[in-house]
Structure 1
């Protein structure tokens, strides 16, 4: 189906483990050490999966530079032992970086059995459509 190299497989596994560590760090009342290690693994895994050139091009796009700056400043703030503030800054940067992908994600989630029923509810559908109206939807 997909031809994935060994480096990409390792990168996906490292990024997934980084996501798990970030989740555990949040569950353990914003443990700065777990979140910092998770950030390193998540970023490193993403670079290993996509390649350094593609990752650099993604973050260096003119419209994504403010989001990239916020994301990496948030990572630095987490390293400085301010995990809650750092995670909020990272979240803002993440939303700015990946806002173009949200309509695609919503269209995929709407096709799932339980989540799709919830997202297609009349009031929630209008709200989600209004939030994601800034980008084009594939459907």
Structure 2
């Protein structure tokens, strides 16, 4: 199975990468709220660019994903009311619930990356 990376998907993946980087940096800097907010905005924008607006809306409003959506949005709320540790924990669980069905696809994609693919195949199989 071959995945084609269009320019839009490359931009989406880049935004997701920057969002994860800023979130990780914020955690290293004792849960800096500004960096956490920036990481969340970049991550959400990247996922929206990668999937598309309609697919993203369907993902968050799907009846089976209400728990993940609620946890993610509560996590955002707790970030903005200055409880970043609880917010990050809730957002992480919400993301795992929302995007749990995508992990097999992500694994196949990562296995096709030339330098990293054989390491992932060695670790997963």
What TM-score comes out, normalization by structure 2 length? 0.76
Residue 74 of structure 2 corresponds to which residue in structure 1?
73
**Distance in 1 between the 2:11 and 2:120 partners?**
30
Question: Structure 2, unaligned stretches of length 5 or more?
Answer: none
Q: Distance in 2 between matches of 1:115 and 1:25?
A: 27
Map residues 75-94 of structure 1 onto 2, 5 A cutoff. Answer: 75-94=76-95
- Secondary structure of residue in 2 paired with 1:2: coil
Task: Determine which of 3, 6, 13 is the counterpart of 1:4.
Answer: 6
Q: Is the Cα–Cα contact under 8 Å of residues 78 and 86 in structure 1 kept in the other structure? A: yes
1:59 to 1:24, Cα distance in 2 relative to 1, 3 A: same
- The answer as to whether partners of 1:18 and 1:40 remain within 8 angstroms in 2 is yes
Alignment length (residue pairs): 119
Could you tell me which residue of structure 2 aligns to residue 38 of structure 1? 39
**For structure 1, which runs of at least 5 residues remain unmatched after alignment?**
121-139
CA RMSD, 1 decimal: 2.7
Instruction: Return closer, same or farther for 1:29/1:110 CA change in 2, 3 Å cut-off.
Output: same
Change (3 A) 1:3 1:14: closer
When the two structures are superposed, what TM-score results if normalisation uses the length of structure 1? Answer: 0.70
